[in-house]
Structure 1
Amino acid sequence: MTYEILPAARAGRVPFADGETWYRVTGDLESGVTPLVVAHGGPGATHQYLLSLTAFADLDGPARPVIHYDQLGCGNSTHLPDADPSYWTVELFLDELDNLLYHLGIADNYHLLGQSWGGMLAAEHAVRRPGGLKRLVISNSPASMPLWSEAASLLRAELPPEVDDTLRTHEEAGTTDSPEYAAAMKVFYDRHVCRIVSNPPAVASAFAALDANPTVYHTMNGPSEFHVVGSLKEWSVVDRLPEIDVPVLVISGAYDEAQPVCVVPYAKLIPDARWEVFEDSSHLPNVEEPARYVAVVESFLRGGS
């Protein structure tokens, strides 16, 4: 089952830092139903692959407004390809999220769903105990990048030897922009990022946007999902997870690059957390099992209105 991407009720840009943050709103923010803010992955990907989540605004029962946005440096927001690498920090994106919440007038009442890097950002947001956050969904995200790299090593060991040899050869040589590296990388991605091959248009569009403008991704992550050499290499929120004081739904896929080793801390250390594994999905259960994904998330959110 797939969901039709609903049209935006409104879209706009809000000034932030050295540019503007683009956003779109599906549904009515004045409806009285707690809106869902969606933070995309990357860092440096775009909102496109999460547009199926506009479905929350068209379910039976009270329609839930949904806010998508592109983080600074990517998508429809301002691109800053010449910014110093030190510009791109977790704090920058936390401030951007706060700025958007206040601009939309929802800072006192909202749910937050973060996917992959967006979930890392969402966890960082939640440990600060913002007063308006009601419920949190951490989807397909690691609690630390060292644990993410550990999971990647386990999955790479299962690749055909010639594929991993190609990856290592180019990583050691610094030639990760090679077509050979891209082809070998795709073998991993087809197993552990999105198992729908060819990728759905929304997913393909997000990947294309990332390829066209990899500034933030290369700076903070690295050349691929499994070769993390950027500024996030040592990032961790593990020791701060007990500070999260709202109900949390943790999501991962059975074939996910976010393997249990890097997800378990969320489930164990957040006081009120539940963990749902999507057995037929990898890193994008929102497109691999969309009906179940929407049903599970909405059931959780309705517990907080």
Structure 2
Amino acid sequence: MCAPTPVLSVRAIRLSAPGRGEDLQARISAPATGDNLPIILFSHGYGSSMDGYAPLTDYWAAHGFVVIQPTHLDAKRLGLAQDDPRRPLIWRTRVEDMKRILDNLAAVTRSVPGLEGRVDHGLVAASGHSFGGQTTSMLLGARMLGPDGEGEDMSDRRVKAGILLASGGRGGVDLSPLGRDITPYLNSGFDHMTTPALVVAGDADHSPLTTRGPHWFADPYRLSPGSKALLTLFGAEHMLGGISGYSVTETTDENPARVALIQRMTLTYLQNVLLDDATAWFSACQALATEVTPLGQVEGNAGG
């Protein structure tokens, strides 16, 4: 794996978003050198913002990716009231935020001095954690199912691959009473999620939103067609060892080695599916499988 390079980062880029209630803000981080750079569009978990998830976003940018992080309406810093009429449809607004950035990629990348002309706008992956994983899954083809079992197709062909980090599974009867109370709209279906993806799940992630336990987070892998891989992390809870920040209070399973594993596996996966470089991914999988005390295991097909 190549050595990391210095990273340039610009935050609070604003995109006009009529009907959203306020402009969409985003952060963009990119390597200081290199050309034909691929893009990762990252969706944060509930309550976070464009400034979260630095252990992942810094790493990806230092290893050759342009990382774009929008701040969704549920960010705590925006202070959206609980009775705000936009809340019930935040799941939809989040997907629209991601598409708005894709619609304005040229303007967004121009916001970083020296980046214009160095980005390959045809090589786009999307990633997200928790609620951000659900957002990302819809770009890959997952649908929010209505009472009739049908759901709108909000997928985007510009997104060539995805990484779902602790992303929830099926809704409906698989939700707990608490889940039905606070996320009544959550009813994901994965029958149409055909875009290649790496699903990352912790086997100790006991979410109060579901009655099924940690296996629920493997649904995007097990219930979707097409090329998928599953990285199961042993002993990992919802923050997967601390991916949401370098110094965060919400991490209950702090484990720098686990975070380092996620960094390596996600990077090599994207190099495989976006850049047709399978060597690093398969080497990383083999190394994990032969460890005396492995931190996780990989199953499935990672091909693009």
State the TM-score, normalizing by the size of structure 2: 0.63
Alignment of 1:102-117 (within 5 A): 102-105=103-106, 108-117=122-131
1:229 corresponds to 2:181 = yes
Q: Which letter maps to 2:261?
A: R
Distance 1:125 1:7, change over 3 A: same
Distance 1:92 1:85, change over 3 A: closer
Aligned position for 2:205: 256
Show CA shifts across 1:213-236 (max 9, x none): xxxxxxxxxxxxx65513x32522
1:285 corresponds to 2:240 = yes
Q: Which letter maps to 1:21?
A: L
Q: Which letter maps to 1:135?
A: A
Contact kept? 2:12, 2:26, Cα under 8 Å:
yes
Contact kept? 1:9, 1:27, Cα under 8 Å:
no
Contact kept? 2:50, 2:71, Cα under 8 Å:
yes
Distance 1:87 1:15, change over 3 A: farther
- From 45, 53, 57, the equivalent of 1:50 is 53
Q: For residues 122 and 286 of structure 1, what CA distance do their matches in structure 2 show?
A: 21
Aligned position for 2:169: 143
State the structure with bigger RCO (CA 8 A, min sep 6), 1 or 2. Answer: 1
Distance 1:108 1:284, change over 3 A: same
Post-superposition shift, 1:146?
4.3
Show CA shifts across 1:264-298 (max 9, x none): 32122222111111114211126232110110101
Post-superposition shift, 1:147?
6.4
Distance 1:117 1:265, change over 3 A: same
Q: For residues 25 and 49 of structure 2, what CA distance do their matches in structure 1 show?
A: 11
Q: For residues 147 and 99 of structure 1, what CA distance do their matches in structure 2 show?
A: 33
Q: For residues 107 and 115 of structure 1, what CA distance do their matches in structure 2 show?
A: 23
Show CA shifts across 1:55-80 (max 9, x none): 11113xxx11111221024256x554
Distance 1:142 1:148, change over 3 A: farther
Q: Which letter maps to 1:251?
A: V
Post-superposition shift, 1:50?
0.9
Contact kept? 2:203, 2:215, Cα under 8 Å:
no
Post-superposition shift, 1:136?
0.5
Contact kept? 1:9, 1:28, Cα under 8 Å:
no
Q: Please identify which structure carries the higher helix content.
A: 1
Show CA shifts across 1:109-150 (max 9, x none): 311111101111111222144121111111101123446644
Q: For residues 129 and 86 of structure 1, what CA distance do their matches in structure 2 show?
A: 22
**DSSP-derived class of the 1:243 partner:** coil
Distance 1:134 1:235, change over 3 A: same
Distance 1:247 1:7, change over 3 A: same
Q: For residues 227 and 98 of structure 1, what CA distance do their matches in structure 2 show?
A: 27
Identity of aligned residues (%): 15
Q: Please identify which structure carries the higher strand content.
A: 2
Distance 1:80 1:301, change over 3 A: same
Distance 1:140 1:52, change over 3 A: same
State the TM-score, normalizing by the size of structure 1: 0.63
Distance 1:297 1:103, change over 3 A: same
Contact kept? 1:253, 1:279, Cα under 8 Å:
yes
RMSD: 3.1
1:244 corresponds to 2:190 = no
**DSSP-derived class of the 1:252 partner:** strand
Contact kept? 2:164, 2:199, Cα under 8 Å:
yes
Matched positions, count: 221
Between 294-303 and 86-95, the greater mean CA deviation after superposition:
86-95
Q: For residues 87 and 235 of structure 2, what CA distance do their matches in structure 1 show?
A: 39
Show CA shifts across 1:64-118 (max 9, x none): 1111221024256x55436325663422221121112222238743111111011
Q: For residues 88 and 107 of structure 1, what CA distance do their matches in structure 2 show?
A: 29
Q: Which letter maps to 1:36?
A: I
- From 136, 141, 146, the equivalent of 1:122 is 136
Q: For residues 261 and 290 of structure 1, what CA distance do their matches in structure 2 show?
A: 20
